[in-house]
C-alpha cells in the first residue's frame, strides 16, 4: 500500500481537514499526518487512530485567507519545518499537501527528498478569494506537483484559468461515510428548547464573512415570525469581528427569539436531521460545500447559493434550490417557498438523498483517489 506523508497547516477542523480524515483513514497503517499547529484537529485524527504529529516547533500564521506571499517571505523561518518534512518524507512514497501553506512546505521538501508531491486543492483560486500574488505563488508551486486533486470541477476550472497545468489536475469530490447518516432521529428540537411548530432553518459553517451568515439573518426579517435559525459553527480562522457583527445584527433586527448560536458542534448530522431546511449562503463561489451534501444525506431540503461547486451538487428545483449569492430577498423567497410547499420540498429532499448516496459514497471516492495515487508510485 502507498505510504503517504500528509501535510495540513491547520490545528482546527475546517472542511478541508474533515475531508483529509476520510482520505487518510484507509492509509492509517502506512501514513503520518503532519500538522503545522496543535488543536482539536489533532484529537480528531487520534480518535480515528490515524498517526499524527505536530511538526511546527513554532506556531505559524494559519489564518486561511492570510498572505501566502508573507508565508514565502518567511521561508527562512520555515526552514526547520521544511527540513523536518524532507527528512520524514524519505520514509514515505509521496507527500500529500492538503492546504496552501502545506503546499509551500511540501513543494520545497519534495524537491529536496525527491518524493512526488500531490496537492489537494480545496480552494477556488479566483480573485474573490485570493490576491493576484497569492494566486500566482499557489499556481506556480502546484504546477510542480505530480498531481493536483481539485475538490470540484469549479476549483479545477479556476486552477486552469489561473495558469494551472491541465495535464496534472483531476477533480474528485469529497466522500462521506454513508453509515453515519442512518441513525434514528432524535428529538433535538425539544432538547434545544425549540417549540415543535417552529420552522427550523439550519446554517452549518464556520463563522466568516464570505460564508454569509449575515444574509440569513437579514432574510429572516422577510419570513414569518415562527421561522427560527440555528447558526452552528464558530470562527475558526480569527474572524472575531464578524462574530460580534452577527450578534449586533441579531439585536438590531430584534431577532433574539428567533436565532440560536450553537458554536462548533460534532453532532451536525443529528442537528441537520432536526431542521426543516438547511441554508448555505456563501457570498462568493463555494469551492465544494460539504454542508450541502451532508444536508442531502440527512434527508433535509437544502437551499444554496448559485456559484462554484454548489452548482455541481444541486439541480435547482429538483434536488434543492439555488439562489443568488448575497441576495437576502431571494433567500427569503426560497425559505418561504419551502414552507408553502411541504410535499414538494419533501420529494426534492428524497431525490437529493438518493442522488447524494450514489455520488458521494466515501468508499467509491477513496477508490478513485487510490487509483490516481498508485500511478505516481513506482512498484
Of 205 and 276, CB closest to ligand UDP: 205
Q: Are 303 and 352 in contact (CB under 8 A)?
A: no
Residue among 113 and 287 whose Cβ is closer to ligand GLC: 287
Minimum distance, C-beta of residue 261 to ligand GLC, in the bound complex (Å): 21
Helices (H) and strands (E) in the chain, counts: 16, 13
Selection from 142, 135, 192 nearest residue 169 by Cα: 142
Paired sense of beta strands 227-232 and 259-263, if any: parallel
Instruction: Find the binder of ligand GLC among 93, 286, 294, 330 (CB under 6 A).
Output: 286
Which range of residues in 34-42, 74-82, 282-290, 340-348 is near ligand GLC by CB under 6 A?
A: 282-290
Among 7, 8, 10, 15, binds ligand UDP (CB under 6 A): 15
Report the sign of the C-alpha dihedral through residues 126, 129, 133, 137, in that order: negative
Taking the least distance from each CB to ligand UDP, the nearer of 160 and 264 is 264
CB neighbours (10 Å) of residue 46?
Answer: 12
Q: Should residue 93 be labelled a site residue for ligand UDP when binding is judged by CB under 6 A?
A: no
Q: How far is CA 16 from CA 12, 21, 23, 132, in A?
A: 10, 9, 11, 22
122 near ligand GLC, rule: CB under 6 A:
yes
Residues 241-260 touching ligand UDP, rule: CB under 6 A, are none
- DSSP for 278-299, please give it: EE---SS-BSS-HHHHHHHHHT
Binding mask 257-296 for ligand UDP (x = CB under 6 A): -------xxx-x-------------------xxxx--x--
Q: Is 71 in the site for ligand GLC (CB under 6 A)?
A: no
Q: Which one of 11, 12, 13, 15 is in contact with ligand GLC (CB under 6 A)?
A: 15
Contact status: 202 vs ligand UDP (CB under 6 A):
no
| 249/114 Cα distance (integer angstroms) | 53
Half-sphere exposure of 54 (CA within 13 A, CB side): 15
Query: Does residue 231 bind ligand UDP (CB under 6 A)?
Result: no
- Residue range at the interface with ligand GLC (CB under 6 A); choices 14-22, 47-55, 324-332, 336-344: 14-22
**271 interacts with ligand GLC by CB under 6 A:** no
Is 18 a residue that touches ligand UDP (CB under 6 A)?
yes
Q: How far is CA 342 from the centre of its chain?
A: 29
Q: Least distance to ligand GLC from the beta carbon of 20, Å?
A: 9
Amino acid at each position: 500500500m502507498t505510504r503517504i506523508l500528509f501535510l495540513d497547516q491547520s490545528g482546527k477542523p475546517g472542511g478541508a481537514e474533515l475531508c483529509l480524515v476520510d482520505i487518510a483513514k484507509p492509509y492509517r497503517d502506512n501514513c503520518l499526518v503532519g500538522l503545522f499547529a496543535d488543536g482539536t484537529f489533532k484529537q480528531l485524527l487520534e480518535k480515528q487512530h490515524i498517526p499524527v504529529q505536530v511538526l511546527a516547533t513554532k506556531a505559524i500564521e494559519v489564518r486561511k485567507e492570510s498572505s501566502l506571499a508573507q508565508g514565502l517571505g518567511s521561508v527562512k523561518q520555515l526552514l526547520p519545518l521544511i527540513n523536518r518534512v524532507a527528512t520524514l518524507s524519505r520514509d514515505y512514497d509521496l507527500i500529500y499537501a492538503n492546504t496552501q501553506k502545506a503546499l509551500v512546505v511540501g513543494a520545497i521538501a519534495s524537491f529536496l527528498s525527491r518524493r512526488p508531491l500531490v496537492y489537494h486543492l480545496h480552494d477556488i483560486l479566483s480573485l474573490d478569494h485570493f490576491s493576484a500574488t497569492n494566486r500566482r505563488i499557489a499556481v506556480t508551486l502546484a504546477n510542480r506537483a505530480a498531481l493536483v486533486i481539485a475538490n470540484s470541477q469549479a476549483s479545477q476550472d479556476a486552477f486552469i484559468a489561473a495558469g494551472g497545468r491541465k495535464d496534472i489536475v483531476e477533480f474528485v469530490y469529497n466522500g462521506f461515510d454513508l453509515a453515519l447518516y442512518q441513525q434514528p432521529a432524535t428529538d433535538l428540537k425539544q432538547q434545544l428548547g425549540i417549540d415543535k411548530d417552529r420552522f427550523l432553518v439550519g446554517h452549518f459553517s464556520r463563522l466568516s464573512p464570505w460564508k454569509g451568515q449575515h444574509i440569513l439573518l437579514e432574510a429572516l426579517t422577510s419570513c414569518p415570525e415562527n421561522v427560527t435559525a440555528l447558526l452552528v459553527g464558530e470562527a475558526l480562522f480569527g474572524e472575531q469581528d464578524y462574530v460580534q457583527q452577527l450578534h449586533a445584527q441579531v439585536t438590531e433586527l430584534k431577532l433574539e427569539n428567533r436565532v440560536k448560536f450553537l458554536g462548533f458542534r460534532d453532532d451536525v448530522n443529528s442537528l441537520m436531521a432536526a431542521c426543516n431546511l438547511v441554508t448555505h449562503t456563501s457570498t462568493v463561489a463555494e469551492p465544494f460545500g460539504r454542508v450541502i451534501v451532508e444536508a442531502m444525506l440527512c434527508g433535509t431540503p437544502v437551499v444554496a447559493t448559485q456559484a462554484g461547486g454548489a452548482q455541481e451538487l444541486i439541480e435547482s428545483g429538483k434536488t434543492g434550490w439555488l439562489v443568488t449569492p448575497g441576495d437576502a430577498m431571494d433567500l427569503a423567497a426560497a425559505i418561504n417557498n419551502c414552507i408553502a410547499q411541504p410535499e414538494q420540498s419533501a420529494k426534492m429532499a428524497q431525490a437529493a438523498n438518493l442522488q447524494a448516496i450514489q455520488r458521494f459514497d466515501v468508499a467509491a471516492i477513496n477508490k478513485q483517489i487510490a487509483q490516481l495515487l498508485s500511478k505516481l508510485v513506482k512498484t
